Amino acid sequence: MEYAIVVFDIGMTNKKIAIYDDTLRQLDAKYRVFEPLIIKGLPCHDLDAIEEWFIGGVKEFAAKYPIKALAVSGHGATFVCVGKNGKNALPCVYYTHEPGDDFHRRFYDRFGKPEELQARTGTPAFMAMINPAKGIFFAQEQFGDDFKNVTAVLPYTQYWGLRFTGKIGVESTYMGNHNYLWDQVDHTLSSVAHNLGIAPFMQDKLARSWDVLGNISGELAEKTGLPGETIVTMGIHDSNSALLPHFAKKGKQKFILNSTGTWCVIMNPVEKYGFASDELGKVVFFNISAFGTPIKTAIFLGGLEFETWSQFFMKRSGRGNLPGWEEEIYRLLLREKNLFLLPELTKGSGQFPFSKARIVENGKDYYFGSEDFAPPCLGDFEKCIAALRISLVMQTLTALERAGIESGCEVYTEGGFRRDEVYNRLLASALTNNKVFLTDISEASALGAAMTAKMALSGKSLADLAGDFEISYKEQEKGSFPELEVYRQAWLAEAEKMKD
């Protein structure tokens, strides 16, 4: 092994430090979950504790491996307001915090109509603070005195780049991530960034994810034992990072990535930016790839929905394991069309922002979390889980359509749902004109980040790395379910009926 690469892969829940060798094989890893800091009643990222853990972990790895590069991948929707000392000048509030309807109204009254902002910035209107411009607006209101000390506003991954090098830069994948801060038509900082007054604190030239931000700082070298010449790349948004292995393997072949986890992220690399008129106002948006090209994207909290509902059903029934594929149960539910499980547990987070989490059984609504939530199906565990899995397939199909799936385009499913036989069988069966493949990449965002570091060290292109690793693309067998489309239309009608 000529050298090793350390990757800091920062999920919203799980934090990871991983070591890769010069052939992109993962050698070692450490994991940690951090509880939020509660400041003024608000859940905030514990940036100091995360940094301390990272330094300690890297110190251990530096004693074992010849590390020459450090790369960061991070979850979206988070910016850090930095002060003169190079650290956060005010709390970094979780994007999951919901400030309320009045806050959202004030935001759009000041910064523009949601559809107009979506057309310019590629960003849909999310609830909570999943649009980082809302998070910054909220911080200005909540921490006004502290905000006076801000000298830079940085995407989350580039904040860590600053902490590790003392240098500031930004790259395309994070600036293009549903934040209202980047104008994707004019390729510059948006009117929202200027109206917030933060444009002077932001960079407007986007680097590539594999560009070198700088060498590690003397302080970090001393604390970790890393050589002072260790390079730090620009960083990359985690979902975009997960695309890189497929770009390397598939080149210009059309595909859609169905990346499943807490967030299910459907990403479709396209040639041209722009919305059809009927797409504005819907939860579809454009990421910017590591190559600076548009990625049409749709998301929903599929993993959260699955975890919350399944845990509820298991607790209610006393069952400890999920049932497998039982064909007759699914055919019966699809044929009868009298049981529907509807999103969204987190209001406004997915493809059906007006829908309320509930079960509809025999035409009656039972709202999840209400005191009288007692649909008859709760007495049949298998039926409840079947309705849940069907619901996730329904949401995925809508997200795929909004991301622009075309006939013949391959779909690659990775992440947690790739292990769910029922979900994959039903999804493949519903996509009659597309092949669905299950991949074996377990930690794609970390691998993608390691690839950016190897590109920086070697000067190689992404395509040059295709031979360094293998991806298994296992085609999912389809079944014949003519009932699926009719059921789907009934399910969609229930999901949309709250809209009026």
Final residue in a domain of this structure, among 234, 253, 277: 234
Final residue in a domain of this structure, among 204, 234, 264: 234
pLDDT given for residue 210 in this prediction: 98
For 28-75, write each residue's pLDDT tens digit.
Answer: 999 999 999 999 999 999 999 999 999 999 999 999 999 999 999 999
Q: Tell me, yes or no, whether 215 and 243 share the same domain.
A: no
Beta bridge partners of 341: 359
Q: Tell me, yes or no, whether 329 and 465 share the same domain.
A: yes
Q: Tell me, yes or no, whether 289 and 177 share the same domain.
A: no
Q: Which of 54, 423, 479, 471 is nearest to 242 (CA)?
A: 471
- 370-393 as b/e: b if 16+ CB within 10 A: eeeeebebbeebbbbbbbbbbbbb
Q: Tell me, yes or no, whether 288 and 216 share the same domain.
A: no
Q: Tell me, yes or no, whether 158 and 260 share the same domain.
A: no
Q: How confident is the model at residue 393 (pLDDT cuts 50, 70, 90)?
A: very high
**pLDDT over 70 for what percent of the chain?**
100
From CA 495, how far away is CA 249, in angstroms rounded? 38
Final residue in a domain of this structure, among 205, 234, 263: 234
Q: Tell me, yes or no, whether 243 and 152 share the same domain.
A: no
Q: Which of 366, 384, 367 is nearest to 375 (CA)?
A: 366
Q: Which of 364, 401, 446, 170 is nearest to 266 (CA)?
A: 401
Q: Tell me, yes or no, whether 384 and 318 share the same domain.
A: yes
Q: Tell me, yes or no, whether 259 and 229 share the same domain.
A: no
Q: Tell me, yes or no, whether 230 and 322 share the same domain.
A: no
Number of domains forming the structure of the chain: 2
**Average pLDDT across the chain, whole number:** 96
Q: Domain span at residue 273?
A: 238-500
Q: What is the CATH number of the domain that holds 291?
A: 3.30.420.40
Q: Is the pLDDT of residue 392 over 90?
A: yes
Q: How confident is the model at residue 162 (pLDDT cuts 50, 70, 90)?
A: very high
Q: How confident is the model at residue 497 (pLDDT cuts 50, 70, 90)?
A: confident
Q: How confident is the model at residue 349 (pLDDT cuts 50, 70, 90)?
A: confident
Q: Is the pLDDT of residue 294 over 70?
A: yes
Q: Tell me, yes or no, whether 266 and 376 share the same domain.
A: yes
Q: Tell me, yes or no, whether 384 and 485 share the same domain.
A: yes
pLDDT given for residue 458 in this prediction: 97
pLDDT given for residue 181 in this prediction: 98
Q: Tell me, yes or no, whether 301 and 431 share the same domain.
A: yes
For 177-201, write each residue's pLDDT tens digit.
Answer: 999 999 999 999 999 999 999 999 9
pLDDT given for residue 226 in this prediction: 98
Q: What is the average pLDDT across 224-250?
A: 97
Single-letter amino acid code for the residue at 430: A
Q: How confident is the model at residue 500 (pLDDT cuts 50, 70, 90)?
A: low
**CA dist list (Å): 241 to 1, 10, 236, 405, 462:** 24, 12, 6, 21, 12
